[in-house]
């Protein structure tokens, strides 16, 4: 009977964490949709900011992402009040929210924007690192990892839909600075659920005997793929890192993409596009469920080899199709990208050396290195190169990631 009580308690604690993952990544993704999709329109079409200066600020801000392994090492080594991850999540989450609010109140000052952007990346990176480190700690089996990442993806999908709804609801004049200020101040409301749930994050306290990990004993599932030693450990690490670097290189056209759509299709079609994206989160959640289902039957590597070239082909068609077909292709690419990203996360978790999360984050940091290189580079190149060429370059770079992937034995 005691085992039954402990089992139920562990399940309820994990369920609270699943809810926390949803709200953390709802806010996390929403803020970065604002920063990467809507801020470019504000800077390019309203404020007419010098793109070279903007690119330099992005390089500085995105350089923080390269500190991800350092943040992971800090949370691995130093606990706070007996907890390894919990208070890192709480403190970084609250700071993240506060900085975004300050940014929304100072949209017209590009220098202050750059400084706040830098601090936002510090807090958001720590939040992301701490949350995923917590998952590694409490989900030693593949099944629990996949379940946790499912809830992360649900939050991410909701977070990517909410900004589009708020944009249509609050944006009166896309070319008016006052409308943009009202819009971003109105987005503060979506921060409330995260503020309320952060204190309830659950984690094993080193001073207690009970642990969330106890629930994993029900399954008795050992990850047969995770091993302590590989004969070709260094080669696998290098290939995985190169793969992740190029798997996210399509961000080279991310920043000028929404201004490109506004200029190409006009304000009416652009608003209609935003309206459809509100419902795209349902498709993203469905895609996550499909991706989780496929992973139970197909190796992640095979899924990646099939989907990455397909996404690249869709990118090429972006620049030649009319508005109606573009909508279909964009939604399809987003759905495939959701499945791909889920598989990438699970795939790189298979590489494990010792019982520390820093190795996962070290490989995952190459995603951040990719963003650090290619997103500001795309902003800089957009001064000299039309967006259509950047999209083609992004498709080519994405497919280059297949080369190292084919040689990885994991």
Report the 3 state secondary structure along the chain: CHHHHHHHHHHHHHHHHHHHHHHHHHHHHHHHHHHHHHHHHHHHHHCCCCHHHHHHHHHHHHHHHHHHHHHHHHHHHCCECCECCHHHHHHHHHHHHHHHHHHHCCCCCHHHHHHHHHHHHHHHHHHHHHHHHHHHHHCCCHHHHHHHHHHHHHHHHHHHHHHHHHHHHHCCCCCCHHHHHHHHHHHHHHHHHHHHHHHHCCCCCCCCCCCHHHHHHHHCCCCCCCCCCCCCHHHHHHHHHHHHHHHCHHHHHHHHHHHHHHHHHHHHHHHHHHHHHHCHHHHHHHHHHHHHHHHCCCCHHHHHHHHHHHHHHHHHHHCCCCHHHHHHHHHHHHHHHHHHHHHHHHHHHCCCCCCCCHHHHHHHHHHHHHHHHHHHHHHHHCCCCCHHHHHHHHHHHHHHCHHHHHCCCC
- Please count the other Cβ atoms lying within 10 Å of the Cβ belonging to residue 350: 18
What is the number of other CB atoms lying within 10 angstroms of the CB of residue 229? Answer: 7
313 close to 270: Cβ distance less than 8 angstroms: no
Q: What pLDDT is attached to residue 320?
A: 94
Candidates 63, 27, 57; CA nearest to 368 is 63
CB 155 within 8 A of CB 21: yes
Phi, psi torsion values for 139, nearest 5 degrees: -130, 75
pLDDT over threshold 60, residue 36: yes
pLDDT of 210 above 70: no
Mean pLDDT rounded to a whole number for the chain: 80
Distance, CA of 269 to CA of 260 (rounded, Å): 12
pLDDT for residue 125 is more than 80:
yes
Average pLDDT value for residue range 332-342: 88
Residue 222 predicted with pLDDT over 50: no
For 387-404, what is each residue's pLDDT tens digit?
A: 999 999 999 999 999 999
CATH classification of 14-201+224-406 is 1.20.1250.20, yes or no?
A: yes
Residues 353, 108: Cα–Cα separation, whole Å: 47
pLDDT-derived band at 220 (thresholds 50, 70, 90) equals very low
pLDDT at 357: 56
Rounded alpha-carbon distances, angstroms, from residue 380 to 55, 160, 193, 318, 397: 6, 25, 36, 21, 17
| 211 pLDDT above the threshold of 50 | no
For residue 268, pLDDT beyond 50: yes
What is the pLDDT at residue 10?
53
Query: What is the rounded average pLDDT of the residues 282-303?
Result: 82
pLDDT at position 33 over 80: yes
pLDDT at position 247 is 92
Q: Which two tokens stand for residue 196?
A: 């309320």
* Residue pair 342/292 in contact by the 8 Å Cβ criterion: yes
Matching residue, tokens 């984690």: 203
Choose from 85-94, 152-161, 230-239 the range with maximum mean pLDDT.
Answer: 85-94
Q: Which of 252, 201, 213 is nearest to 393 (CA)?
A: 252
**Longest CA span, the chain:** 70
Q: CA nearest 368: which of 126, 108, 22?
A: 126
Q: Is the pTM of this model over 0.75?
A: no
172 φ/ψ angles, rounded to the nearest 5 degrees = -85, -40
pLDDT at 15 over 70: no
């Amino acid at each position: 009977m005691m085992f039954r009580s402990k089992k139920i308690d562990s399940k309820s604690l994990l369920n609270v964490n699943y809810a926390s993952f949803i709200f953390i990544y709802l806010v996390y993704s929403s803020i970065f949709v604002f920063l990467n999709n809507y801020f470019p329109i504000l800077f390019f079409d309203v404020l007419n900011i010098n793109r070279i200066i903007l690119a330099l600020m992005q390089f500085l801000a995105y350089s923080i992402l390269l500190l991800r392994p350092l943040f992971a090492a800090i949370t691995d080594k130093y606990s706070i009040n007996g907890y390894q991850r919990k208070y890192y999540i709480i403190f970084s989450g609250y700071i993240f929210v506060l900085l975004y609010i300050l940014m929304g109140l100072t949209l017209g000052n590009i220098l202050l924007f750059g400084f706040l952007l830098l601090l936002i990346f510090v807090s958001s990176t720590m939040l992301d690192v701490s949350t995923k480190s917590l998952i590694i700690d409490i989900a030693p089996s593949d099944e629990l990892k996949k379940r946790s990442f499912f809830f992360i993806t649900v939050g991410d999908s909701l977070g990517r839909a909410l900004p589009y709804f708020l944009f249509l609801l609050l944006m009166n004049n896309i070319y008016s600075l006052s409308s943009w200020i009202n819009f971003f101040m109105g987005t503060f409301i979506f921060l409330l659920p995260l503020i309320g749930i952060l204190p309830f994050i659950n984690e094993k306290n080193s001073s207690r005997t009970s642990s969330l990990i106890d629930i994993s004993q029900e399954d008795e599932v050992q990850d047969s793929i995770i091993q302590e030693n590989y004969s070709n450990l260094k080669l696998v690490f290098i290939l995985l890192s190169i793969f992740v670097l190029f798997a996210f290189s399509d961000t080279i056209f991310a920043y000028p993409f929404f201004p490109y759509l506004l200029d190409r299709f006009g304000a009416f079609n652009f608003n209609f596009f935003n309206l459809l994206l509100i419902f795209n989160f349902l498709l993203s959640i469905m895609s996550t469920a499909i991706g989780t289902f496929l992973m139970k039957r197909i190796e992640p590597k095979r899924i990646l080899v099939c989907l990455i070239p397909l996404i690249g082909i869709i990118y090429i068609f972006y620049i030649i199709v009319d508005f109606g077909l573009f909508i279909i292709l964009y939604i399809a690419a987003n759905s495939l990208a959701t499945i791909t990203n889920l598989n990438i996360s699970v795939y790189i978790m298979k590489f494990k050396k010792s019982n520390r999360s820093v190795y996962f984050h070290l490989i995952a940091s190459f995603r951040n290195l990719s963003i650090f290189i290619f997103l500001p580079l795309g902003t800089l190149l957009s001064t000299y190169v039309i967006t259509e060429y950047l999209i083609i370059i992004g498709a080519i770079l994405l497919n280059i990631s297949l080369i190292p992937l084919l040689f990885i034995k994991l």
